[in-house]
Amino acid sequence: MRLSLYVPGNSWVHRLDPLTKLIMAVVAVILVFVLPGYWASAALLAVSLGVLASGGVLRRSVPVFLGVSLIAITFFVVQGLVYPGNQHPALTLGPVTFYQEGLLLGLKLSLRLYNILAATLVLILLTNPSDLVESLVRRGVPSRFGYVVVAVLQMIPNMAATTGTIMDAQRSRGMETEGSLWTRMRAFIPLMGPLVTSSLIATEERALALEVRGFSGNRKPTFLHEEVIPPYAWAVRALYLAALILAIAGRWIG
């Protein structure tokens, strides 16, 4: 079991340094809110999907997109029915009427949702999270923060692996994990308690181990890996920042 959805590979997006990919994601997310109209949003979505496709992860992003489709459907239903600006009925199904303005707003919100998702998937699917953390620590983010994030990434799979053991252990002692809502609610504490207590007790040991290795030292740490920034990364950064400036300038004038 892994927490991260990162897909290792060797495409041009994989070879970009993490900071460039962070810039790509942040710029694309800002553009979602800066670009006006449906066509610009659709074009942005196409660009983000193009990046994902060229990184070879388009298929891996489908489950993520499907996962939020219920939210997108809610946008259409809720806004189509009750958006305060609704005036022109678009279609009537039995007793309910969907309005044109609300449905268009639903489209806008769905585009926004998928745009944010597609933009951040560049980071999620194509960037190794610990590389991203390392690259940020290199640029002045406190190394303790770096430790915290990397520790989460390592700890969660271990903790998740013990959940099965705890569940089996408590079941074998007669704990009900099925049945009424109250029964299932009550089962939560005997499941959660041992895990929380044992992991909190383990923190003391881990803190000691870190102390012994100079965790609270004030020396500047060095890095295990050399950072490689491919030459085209600068072009990508320039392209994205130029798009951002153009879009903001266009918004200002338009």
Partner 1 sequence: MVSRRYSPWALRFTTLTIVLIPVAVGINYIGKLFASALKLPLWLDSIGTVLSGMLAGPWIGAISGAVNNIVFGITADPISFWYLVTSIAIGLVVGYLAFTGWINTFGRAVVLGFVVALVAAVVSTPLNVILWEGTTGNVWGDALYTALMAKGWPVWLASFLDELVVDVPDKLATVVISWLIYRALPKRLVGLFSGRNEVESL
* E-strand stretches of the chain: 89-93, 96-99
Between 12 and 145, CB nearer to partner 1:
145
**CA 119, 122, 128, 131 torsion: positive or negative?**
negative
> What are the respective helix, strand and coil percentages of the chain, to the nearest 5?
70, 5, 25
Does 3 help bind partner 1 (rule: CB under 8 A)? yes
The correct pick among 181, 224, 228, 253 for binding partner 1 (CB under 8 A) is: 181
Stretch that binds partner 1, among 36-44, 45-53, 197-205, 240-248 (CB under 8 A): 197-205
Cα→Cα distances 184→168, 173, 200, 233, 242, Å: 15, 15, 25, 52, 54
Pick the closest to residue 116 from 32, 57, 18 (CA basis): 32
Between 73 and 246, CB nearer to partner 1: 73
Q: Which residue has the tokens 């499907």?
A: 66
DSSP per position, 33-81: HHS-SHHHHHHHHHHHHHHHHHTT-HHHHHHHHHHTHHHHHHHHHHHHH
Q: Which of residues 16-75 bind partner 1 (CB under 8 A)?
A: 68, 70-71, 74-75
For residues 130 and 149, what is the distance between their CA atoms, to the nearest angstrom? 8
Tell me if 251 contacts partner 1 by CB under 8 A.
no
Residue in 104, 191, 229, 243 binding partner 1, rule: CB under 8 A:
191
Terminal CA-to-CA distance of the chain, rounded, Å?
A: 49
Piece of 7-15, 54-62, 146-154, 245-253 that binds partner 1 (CB under 8 A):
146-154
Q: Which residue from 12, 37, 177, 232 is in contact with partner 1, where contact means CB under 8 A? A: 177
Distance CA 213, CA 231 (A): 37
Q: Using CB under 8 A, count the residues that bind partner 1.
A: 70
Long-range contacts: 183-188, Cβ < 8 Å, 24+? none
Closest contact distance (angstroms) between CB of 145 and partner 1 is: 8
Q: Kindly calculate the radius of gyration of the chain based on its CA atoms and give it in whole angstroms.
A: 24
Choose the binding region for partner 1 from 53-61, 106-114, 224-232, 238-246 (rule: CB under 8 A): 106-114
117 interacts with partner 1 by CB under 8 A: yes
- Binding residue (CB under 8 A) for partner 1 from 16, 124, 233, 247: 124
Q: How far is the CB of 15 from partner 1 (least distance, A)?
A: 19
If phi over 0 gives left and psi between -120 and 50 gives alpha, with beta otherwise, what is residue 166? Answer: alpha
Amino acid occupying residue 80: G
* Choice from 207, 235, 238, 249 touching partner 1 (CB under 8 A): 207
| Residues that bind partner 1 in the complex, under the rule CB under 8 A | 3-6, 68, 70-71, 74-75, 77-79, 81-84, 105, 109, 112-113, 116-117, 119-121, 123-124, 127, 129, 132, 144-145, 147-149, 151-153, 155-156, 159-160, 163, 167, 177, 181, 184-185, 187-189, 191-193, 195-197, 199-204, 206-208, 210-211, 215-216
